[in-house]
A and B are shown apart, each in its own frame.
Chain A
């Protein structure tokens, strides 16, 4: 297991300096902030909506909000000093939830087959290996709260501490939810394996 993008602790004290620079309009600093987080945000959105364009739209909207609040241009400017990542990922989770709610609403008033497609979770990624697709399908079987923890952890590369801060939950709750999610996924994968064999 290798991390291609650093965790919060590894971004370290540099992050505060970077954010300070970005908030004064330094293009390079803002570019680095985007470089640190855009793919993680995008992966979380993509995992949920299975749509590259929509995932990019969500990612963009997250960074528009972050940029506006970081520079104090919007209402509720960023003030949570030292908690940037939990703030950023909270915005991300809220955007993803909003988008999923909107899609479900649209689907429920539209063709029932569309709803079935979304409920089934995804358009199969033909390029992906079969086992990854099986994992995606198992992910779709999780409850909303379990899925959020799994996606934050494995797609967003967040530490459990950061997940707990983001969700405003005790870390024990987050760990238990993650453990439960893994167990459920294991059961789902086993039952599907049983069906196919």
Chain B
């Protein structure tokens, strides 16, 4: 069986700006650097990492919303390019972080959903109003909300409308970019539950981007941990959380603030902050912060993903030592 989505060697580079002498190559930032993974139908993949690690850029490149500079994306085994783009558009939808900014402030909720139905000819014109109401009920709102403008809704309600709009396409894949991080804790839980519910009801595949690992633990079958544009660890969620292999993943999981009445700050915390993507360290990009860094980590190419326990990690601690 071919995977629903396959990403192979994807790279996204941005011009870094700044002054360049004539003849000198323009400086580039590789926001996404050689990322490969596959996603099966109905599967949920978590994409985690700190800000600036390239997870949002990766999501946008997958949906062809950002120009990629190398690599390819295959949707249902078919290369996504200019001619096959509409196929992807009809089968994939995105949910955004800022619930207010994701909706056109001048359109009513009903019109926002109806527009998608009309453009994609999902239902005959006389069924549109009924389908809009169906969608609103599906995400826990009511038909009454169709007449409202986004500004009169709360953040949680707007996010539900955003989800309804994504579902209107009847997609096979949903990409959710930090879709709960702008919401209050009690509303966050509602939205996560809604996603879990519709995912199983509609057999959706989902790419769930988050910096909050605890949320990923709840929602995802598999998880990819990104650091500075590369995937550093990839595996089943349960494996990655119970026995993280890459020192970065270990530090991330240690740093999750758990509600433990006797809790205190974690010991051996990760020092420093991620370096600027403009000025990546040689070797493993994580080595300046890594408590277990060895001499071989400090030079040469970045390590590649290799089997480490049940999952895969891009770390020289798990073999792949070069001579």
State whether these chains interact: no
Residues of A within 8 A of B (CB): none
